[in-house]
Structure 1
């Protein structure tokens, strides 16, 4: 094992740096999904082919990230540089992400655009991962909840600011908008690296494992660390429910016969729900730390999202769906904050935190791929079984995944209970 010199960042400074890094690395990818990527694709293939190409780009990127994100986490854990492995990838990820985004922005063919999009997701994901990984490494466990709550607020707030800026400069060409996003992210990522202290590697001696041995130990032992797998399953199930909301646009068309303008207005009515998600995440994080209980919050939040899916299934008006969306954001915000704190607590080791967190994060991409694959079949089956638009059955199935998410939390040890030694 190489020699390491541990440095701990003052809590407030770490919080500011990590929130900057998180918000500015997650927001660009979210903002791309709000039309910027679509318009850039239209520039290359035209309006008529944009839908098909956008779906292909999203599908390829999802598969790419499911494979590469855990590998990236493992590489980050094994990085040995004097500036510290987390800071190194905050800088490298920001610069690599900027170059990838430039490739995406000025691509003149679909293959080049896909390469740029995949790499931008990978490198920005490395910045995000590094900001998450400093928590189990440098923050006291009794503060995990409040930190996760504030982390959960970082991305939505940055996205809201980004949306406002894009709205103000709506007439600016899409490529100039993308350039502005690139510059802001580089500033945020580098600022995070400056503010956060990191473990410095000062030696060069480390016994290398064989490829087979490394592959065998890539996923934490289910027998030795069962709570890790339970935590991964609860994330996967709740993310399947959340991914199902990508069908809301088609739901509005099929059940309520709304046009494009009406749907855009409905989306605008729902946008304040983001702040409710932020507030519930901060509240859940702080209170769970205070009472030293995480599982009740995670289970309650998952059940709230399930009830919302049932409400969507039987909704007879758009207003009912909008109200349900607010409750869903409340539940999902609390779930995300407290569950992230729970994950930080049950990670098998600090040494491999990046890899283990990256494996957890692949549940987002995996759940999205699952929903995109099964949604049309579930809706068609629902139409056949229930004789309606198919969405009653679809949302009831999503409610089932929320309930499963709550149930698989039960075997995870609570704070203070006996756990495997890290």
Structure 2
């Protein structure tokens, strides 16, 4: 998957180079200058792309702030995500300053974030031990598919994918050492001996097991058999009957072994969560061509880091409110941009970018473990703007976002967003 993404990026860059070279042969001779009617404004970002550099709504164009110029931006953005039928509202704010006529610096953060989950049973984060859902008329822990608990001995079910029925005990983060429950067994039977724990005891959660590689670690009794702290989801169950025809528990009907999660907020366990100032981005925009050239090209580079991580109860609580994915090391991103002034009233912009995302980790007695090995992001975008004057600018954008790398199949899908709008601004 990583090799495919790299090939796509190389091919896209080559196509962009040829396309803009062709455009340059027929561009209007009215080059950019201090009298340019097209105003320079910051991008809003959100939904994958990082806001802050100058550009359109989410697409970076080929212009930069001139030396000594600076801008401040505040905006409201709404976008949807799957799985979970999630609606996200953000208020990004940013600051930009031009160091010279072709190089600018920027800083971006989220002044507010609200995440509404309309289908929580589609998200593994609602199946964690400190989560509850309304199933029928009961507020309970939903059923899940987890890696079997692991005791000091070896049980007949150790290391396997196990069905955890609804009603498991509530255990607060960091979960390790908590009661894993009876797994549907009734007294005088206990779940412990099935997983290598002493007789007459129930199984316990954890401790985590190192993967020995770059992927997520394993969390017995909590997470998926494929790794990560997130379990597989069970959407439906079927009743079991004993030989006498009486109820004898339930079995999974529609379920997954791999986690299903939201890349923007993988640990959320509220149907509506709010947060503020949890994600920060700082970076640069560097234009390679002259400001007098009607074809602009260059690079945007940035570093994104998170206020809240799994290093503490408070940090993970904010992540369960949907604040961020909480990558501990922070994320790095590079985006190649190019644009062309087709006419004085029309500008075409294109972006090809890649985010290298950090894993989400947690600290527990015994070391630091990877809760989730987040997938990287490959991004492609096209935008057109029509500067009527300095204060009125219709914009059309087309974007594609692809997750690549260590990410479950359920989340390894393309997302395409079409944005249209009009920007009115004062300078």
Please classify the TM superposition score into its range, dividing by the shorter chain length.
under 0.3
TM-score, normalising length: structure 1: 0.21
Task: Name which one, 1 or 2, has greater alpha-carbon Rg.
Answer: 2
Q: Which has the higher strand share?
A: 2
Q: Which has the higher helix share?
A: 1
Larger RCO (CA within 8 A; separation ≥ 6): 1
